[in-house]
Amino acid sequence: MPPLPSILIRHIHLPSITPFHLVQTLQTHLVSQFLNYKASLSTPSPIAPPAPTILTFVPTPVYTTGRREHDSLSPEQLAVLKAPLSPLRRSSHNKYKNPEWAAVVPTLRGGQTTFHGPGQLVVYPILDLKPLLLASASASASAIQDNGEENGGDEIRDLNVPVYSQWPKGISVRCYVNLLEQSTINTLAHWTLKGKRTENPGVWDESGERKIAALGVHLRRNITSYGVGLNVNTDLRWFDRIVACGLVGKGVISMRELGKECGAWEWGRYNEGKIEGIPRAIEDAILAAEKEKGGEGRRPWLESLQKKNGVQLRARLKPGIVARTWVREFARGLVGEGGEECVVKVGIEDLDVPEKLLAVYKLETEPWRHDWEDDW
């Protein structure tokens, strides 16, 4: 019998602009899987631990408040936040530039009021910061292997024992926040953009005056929720209504605008590249095969990490590509070199979600699911 994997990281990218309330429900479901596992450890029949899961998505417009601000907004402030805003350009989910409204939603994360919406990639890692140690995990795995052999081995294939080789004693809250920030900084570097940490939370441009990624997390029994909001191509006017994250005098910026300022999207600008390119003939064959199956026919080269010039980098500013790059960097920080090999792409149907939630998700996202990422 082959050895069980030490870690498997599930990545689900919701392939459509998604109402925020659906994402909150899905996140709560994933967190509950970890909590149920921890509760089972004190029973005679503990269940296998769920795999760490990274949820990435682009939400409908929403202002979220931190746990200390739930009742602090006045009726006048709420009226300002809920006022309509007409988009600057057409998109697949708003072809006629009709006014858009933002919801105001309380959350359990730390931090103050911030904005999430179209053009922003939101990343929610759900994992246990204090997983079983290697020795304990091996013992548990052996026990489940024995049970699996009696049951035909079905349970073995689904087993994931979370052991973070970079953090054998678990991850402290401070180190976890640093990991989120560093994963974002490394992701920006793939587009030749520079981000940095400051004394304030989040990731900032080189001047330290404009935030490009907000950060807010919540922990329950060392299980993480919420995470990072990275401005990729966000309409920054939404932020004019708030003091973003409570920092007076600070601004916000997006990857697209920062790239314009520093010339990242010019032909003569190149990133370093990470892997060898795919021959054009192979690309064309893959592209044709995908179209025959009814797929979108995106070039695998566009999503690869090979060297690209500025115009090609600009073409990669799509939520799915940015999300995959962020998850790769996070996995490397969690597991070490080669950590991206632990990442497995899954769909919402693979997460054992309630049928009602799955039906509502499909109903509310179906109108623009297949073409909206081309807006970016």
| CB-neighbour burial class of residue 159 (10 A; exposed 0-12, middle 13-18, buried 19+) | middle
Return the closest-CA partner of residue 107 out of 87, 89, 122, 91.
Answer: 122
Residue 137 Cα to chain centre, angstroms: 27
Burial class (CB in 10 A: 0-12, 13-18, 19+), 3: exposed
Does the annotation count 175 as an active-site position? no
Cβ contacts of residue 119 below 8 Å, gap of 6+? 58, 231, 232, 233, 234, 235, 254, 376
Task: Report the C-alpha gap between 211 and 224 in whole angstroms.
Answer: 23
Q: Which residues pair with 55 in a beta bridge?
A: 12, 124
Instruction: Output DSSP code: residue 279.
Output: P
Let me know: does 319 contact 13? Beta carbons within 8 Å. yes
CB 196 within 8 A of CB 203: yes
Residue 221 sits at the vertex; the CA angle it makes with 217 and 225, to the nearest 5 degrees, is 25
Q: Residue 307 to residues 3, 254, 289, 366: CA-CA distances in angstroms?
A: 36, 22, 25, 35
CB 111 within 8 Å of CB 201: yes
Instruction: Write out the catalytic residue numbers.
Output: 245
